[in-house]
Structure 1
Amino acid sequence: MSLDRESEVPLAVQLADALREAAAHGHLRGGDRLPSTRALAGRLGVSRTVTAAAYEQLHAEGWIVGRHGSGTYVTTSPPAGRPARRAVVEREGTPSGLLDLTLGVPWAEGLDRAAWRRAWRAAADAAPLSTAQRAGLPEYRAAIAEHLLRHRGLDVGTESVLATGGTTAAVVELAAAVLGRGDLVAVEEPGYQRAVEAFRCAGLRVAPVPVDGEGIRPDSVPRGARAVYCSPAHQYPMGSRMSAARRVELVERARAEDFLLIEDDYDGELRFDVAPLPLLAALAPDVVAHLGTTSKILTPTLGAGWMVAPEPVTTTVLEYRDRTGTRPSPAGQRVLVELARTGDLGRHLRRLRRELSERRTMLVGAFREAGVPVLGDDAGAHLVVPLDSAGTERDRLAAGRGDGIVLDSLSRHFAGVPDRHGVAVGYAGCSRAALWDALGELVRLLR
């Protein structure tokens, strides 16, 4: 046992750490007698104050005990089969050198870095909170209410907005607080699989419902469903919009059969051909829980989203947060407030729509000129190229990866057995130059 006199760590702390480590790894065992503080100090060449302080710390922690007239003894043996500590392993992302064209990656490089820094500095000026804001910061809820009015045409008051950690976090809360184990939830097929897994992990039964060019098919929603999860403004991943007739049909069924419509508006602000489509929440605020997120229009860094739902739903979610001690992080909320207050959020959204519109036009034009069919409305940050089989889909993905391009398979977005195949191309996460350089290869791969 050696002590480093040049270290900034006090000698007594070093000694206590060394003895604790020896006991934890079995070099010292329960019942072993330790030298006296005087004898150990002499052997290590330190003052008795050092050894006495180390013993006092270990005694307080329960590692050693003093027996009157007998000495100091180790009290605890290490657990049998003590496993080695494992590092936390993150799921591997796209390897460097590959062009990532998978879905769900936002245009983070388009953020004005000066505005980004200003927002964080201003957010840091706010005083630290002394109590948790379960519903979210009032100023954040007011900023989201203004955002929904300006960009989505939804007129709600600040008190109707609930801050969330994002769409998936909101789904987790709805599944845990509003729905019950064993309840049946209808989901779009294909659809957003993280929401599907959130429902399943909460013990809910999932019923996939097919989608077509007009969105989810209300006539296929099973009887007895307690909720229907859908993305009406821009179906994920097929890219269609839900028709007005289907919106009305779905709302009428929700009211008649008493189920909740969960509206995922993940990129509803990103429409290029017409104004953003009206929300289900505007049509039927009594049966719709509207969910939004900053992850697709800004960056996942903020971890901020929102929910607008009937009062019984938001009340139940708040009660759940009180019981579990959970709440969305206020840091990202404060940054969003500053971006909205200075007008930087609105300016970014205008740049984002213009940039993604031009990228989509470039891709669609090249594909159609080469005879490659494209699915999806003129909106959002991805498009779908249909293919004839699962084998063709696998071949195209493998060929793309071989050429340095990572594409997304349509079959990945099915909760059940895929009945359609294709490649989904996300065009927001890379630079425009990189997308342009890869365009010829993309056309060749998908032709």
Structure 2
Amino acid sequence: MVWKATLEVCVSNADTALPVFLDRESGVPLAVQLADALRASAATGHLRGGDRLPSTRALADRLGVSRTVTSAAYEQLHAEGWIAGRHGSGTYVTTSPPGDVPAHGTVFGEVREPVELLDLTPGTPWAEGLDRAAWRRAWRAAADTAPLVRVQRAGVPEYRAAIGEHLLRHRGLAVGTDSVLATGGTTAAVVELAGAVLEPGDVVAVEEPGYQRAVQAFGAAGVRVTGVPVDDEGLRPEAVPAGVRAVYCSPAHQYPMGSRMSASRRVELVERARAEQLLIIEDDYDGELRFDVAPLPLLAALAPDVVVHLGTTSKILTPTLGAGWMVAPPEVTAAVLTYRDRTGTRPSPAGQRVLVELARHGDLGRHLRKLRRELSERRSMLVAALRDGGVRVLGDDAGAHLVVLFTSAAVERERLAEAEARGIRLDGLARHFAGTPSAHGVAIGYAGCSRDALHDALDTLVGLLR
């Protein structure tokens, strides 16, 4: 027999009715059913932090059950942190409930602790290395600037100037402020290019494997993509098919395989772009992070007439800022600004203001120096452990991830599952292919966790990957 009872809950001095369904014929104890119902209401927002629940006696009367049932349900929710009692006041929903909702069938009295995985997937920055005093100072200074009166589609002028200085100092690219557009990051910039410059049905050549968010952004705009293989010298220009409208690549540190496009291939790609009127989209997502030698010149420095250069703060600082940049030929810049006017979009100025303050006080430069040193040492530690264990490592001495290859897709799946079972989350190469994967393995990020956690995981990693 299933019956429904309506539970009146005091919410800010107003009564809110919440339905509670209990099934006496179910094999699940009534106390567990009640706890599940209240927990689900809290998880979905029907119950909120500060809402007062009825007493166990009052609730038992309303539901037609014994007080033992309601008391047991409250005890379980209290143990899990969903509710708390206030002396002389009653029982209230907490403001910070746990994340996962246990499924029906959980043994009453058993509190399942969430499994904490060491996340070694690439793409996470070394945010813990940010100088918190400098971080707070930059936000306070950014807040002291006058509110904008008009939307600045191209970005905050001070931000564009700061990025111009950053590109000159750290990437060897000399550009004027007018050539720099603020963006929301590299993926956001790809979305804008797909909408502003490309047409539905155009074909863009992308690295295979490559950055799948860019692939999805092109596809969402009706732009077709075709994969171009990469090797230890980066994208192969001779494999770019005829008739494409643009080529999207990451020449400084190919994602995810970690190679650097050779100088000869850069020249070959630029010559093809000029001869065939192609647009090269250069994703320089972590080009500042090179540890062995000076990086090769940017494609944008070699051919500013055919290259759109994209960069982001999410890998060198934090995604919190939501700030990136685009340097493009004048006709592309004009098209993007027109697109922003037409769609009413523009990157948020808040993160731009913070970056300006970090750069103004020299904190950006200091952080980059510290970041390179830290990631270089982490990479050396990880590579040494893997190679000592007989594991071959791919990828240049750069960035915040490296690659280990496997012999098959089945081995990749097995190793990913085994790693998770042993408390480590790795990133399989399969998801980085738009088509059928031609390489199998894992990409290992080493920036997002603490150095101690990375060190403690080395023996497990070597055992998994050997």
The TM-score range, normalised by the shorter chain, is: 0.7 to 0.9
Q: Distance in 1 between matches of 2:382 and 2:168?
A: 32
Q: Distance in 2 between matches of 1:330 and 1:122?
A: 14
> Where do 4+ consecutive residues of structure 1 move more than 2 Å?
6-9
Letter in 2 for 1:244: A
Match of 1:81 in 2: none
Which residue of the other structure, out of 181, 187, 211, is the alignment partner of 1:162? 181
Q: Distance in 2 between matches of 1:413 and 1:372?
A: 22
What SS does structure 2 have at the residue aligned with 1:286? coil
Match of 1:317 in 2: 336
Match of 1:332 in 2: 351
Cα deviation code 1:207-238 (max 9, x no counterpart): 00000011001111011100000000000000
Letter in 2 for 1:401: E
Contact 1:186–1:207 (Cα < 8 Å) also in 2: yes
Which residue of the other structure, out of 429, 442, 445, is the alignment partner of 2:448? 429
- Higher mean displacement: 339-348 or 96-105: 96-105
Q: Distance in 1 between matches of 2:393 and 2:12?
A: 64
Letter in 1 for 2:258: G
Which residue of the other structure, out of 425, 437, 452, is the alignment partner of 1:406? 425
Residue 207 in structure 1 maps to residue 207 in structure 2? no
Q: Distance in 1 between matches of 2:432 and 2:400?
A: 16
Match of 1:66 in 2: none
Contact 2:263–2:296 (Cα < 8 Å) also in 1: no
Match of 2:133 in 1: 114
Q: CA deviation at 1:91?
A: 12
Q: CA deviation at 1:8?
A: 8.4
| Structure 1 residues without counterparts, runs of 5 or longer | 1-5, 19-89
Kindly tell me the number of residue pairs found equivalent between the two proteins: 364
Match of 1:130 in 2: 149
Contact 1:99–1:405 (Cα < 8 Å) also in 2: yes
Cα deviation code 1:395-430 (max 9, x no counterpart): 110010000000000111001000110111000000
Alpha carbons of structure 1 residues 180 and 7: separation in structure 2 relative to 1, 3 Å: closer
Larger radius of gyration: 1
Summarize the alignment of residues 273-292 of structure 1 with structure 2, pairs less than 5 Å apart. Answer: 273-292=292-311
Match of 2:159 in 1: 140
Which residue of the other structure, out of 389, 393, 409, is the alignment partner of 1:370? 389
Percent identical:
78
Match of 1:230 in 2: 249
Q: Distance in 1 between matches of 2:451 and 2:127?
A: 12
What SS does structure 1 have at the residue aligned with 2:161? helix
TM-score, with normalisation over the residues of structure 1? Answer: 0.79
RMSD over aligned Cα atoms: 2.0
Q: CA deviation at 1:168?
A: 0.2
What SS does structure 2 have at the residue aligned with 1:263? strand
Alpha carbons of structure 1 residues 369 and 343: separation in structure 2 relative to 1, 3 Å: same
Match of 2:362 in 1: 343
Q: Distance in 2 between matches of 1:235 and 1:304?
A: 21
Q: Distance in 1 between matches of 2:282 and 2:419?
A: 34
Cα deviation code 1:159-188 (max 9, x no counterpart): 110000000000000001100000000000
Q: CA deviation at 1:96?
A: 5.5
Residue 303 in structure 1 maps to residue 331 in structure 2? no
| Structure 2 residues without counterparts, runs of 5 or longer | 1-9, 18-98, 102-113
Q: Distance in 1 between matches of 2:161 and 2:368?
A: 18
What SS does structure 2 have at the residue aligned with 1:296? coil
Q: Distance in 2 between matches of 1:91 and 1:248?
A: 52
